[in-house]
Structures are given as structure tokens and as C-alpha cells.
Amino acid sequence: MAARISPEIRRLLADRKLVRANISRQAILNELDASRKDLKDAKDSLAQKKYKWATIQGYYSMFRSARALLYRKGFREKSHYALLRALTDLFENELENSLILSFEQAMDLRQEADYGLKFSATGATETIEGAEKFLKSTREILKLPGLIS
């Protein structure tokens, strides 16, 4: 029996902001590995007081974790916003609301750092803390055998 598709997912599909995809287990693992590496890089940048890069790398750690979740549901996003909307809809019962809010805040902070050249130690730290929690939660949700921490 096919899962019911919500109006939000139906709209994203109709607008081609989200597409159905047959994603391999390896692709999901690759996203998680990239998330882990981005998180490490973000922490290194923070230690070097490179707050812009720490913010950007922390966000991309969250982005990769979110993408792994989306891949598991058989979808591929065509924009950062579509990823946020799909994640909110598809994982409302599995992902804590605080993590969705953290992802959205990190998305805003990344955009400000990247395009507005506005960044801070506080923003970088919050993004990295959110990325750590997001990655941990993603691993728990996916429960993939052989997943390396």
C-alpha cells in the first residue's frame, strides 16, 4: 500500500522543486559521510575563529543530513527551501521540531554569511551545535546497518 502524499509534497512535485528518485543505500551513506566531514571542518574553522566558514560548513553538515533523510524516502530536492519544506512534511513524526527550526535558522545564517557577509561566533556556534544534534538524530532515524559513527 502506497503512503498518502500530502498536499505540500504534491505541490513541490508539481513545481518540480522535488522529484522522485531511486536512491541507493550507498548514496545515503555518502551524504552522511559528507555531513560528518562538514561538521568536522566547521569545528576546525570555529577553533580558528573563521566564523563565516564555520557557519557555512555547519549548515552544509545539516543540509547533507537532511538530504540523506529525503533520499531514504525516495526524493531528491531541487532547492534548499524545497528540502526544508519536504523534511518538515515527511519527518514531522520522526524529527523533533527544534531540529527543523535549527535547520531553518542555519539556512538563514548561512545565507547571511555567504551573501551578506554577516556572521558571528554565536551564529557559528549555534549552527555547529544544531548540526551535531541533526546528524545524531538522522543516524537514529535511518538505522542503517553498518553505519559508521
- The domain segmentation of the chain, as residue ranges, is 7-142
Q: How far apart are CA 66 and CA 89, in angstroms?
A: 12
| Contact (CB, 8 A) for 145 and 104 | no
| Contact (CB, 8 A) for 135 and 39 | yes
Task: Give the CB-side neighbour count of residue 37, counting CA atoms within 13 A.
Answer: 7
Q: How far apart are CA 89 and CA 5, in angstroms?
A: 10
Which among 92, 60, 80 has a CA at the least distance from the CA of 12? 80
User: Which has the higher per-residue pLDDT, 43 or 3?
Assistant: 43
| Contact (CB, 8 A) for 135 and 60 | no
- Tens of pLDDT, residues 75-120: 999 999 999 999 999 999 999 999 999 999 999 999 999 999 999 9
Which among 48, 47, 39, 51 has a CA at the least distance from the CA of 119? 51
Confidence of residue 4 (pLDDT cuts 50, 70, 90): confident
Considering the chain, what percentage of its residues have pLDDT values greater than 90? 91
DSSP track, 16-73: TSEEE----HHHHHHHHHHHHHHHHHHHHHHHTT-HHHHHHHHHHHHHHHHHHHHHHT
| Check whether domain 7-142 has CATH 1.10.3720.10, yes or no | no
Q: What's the confidence (pLDDT) of residue 146?
A: 54
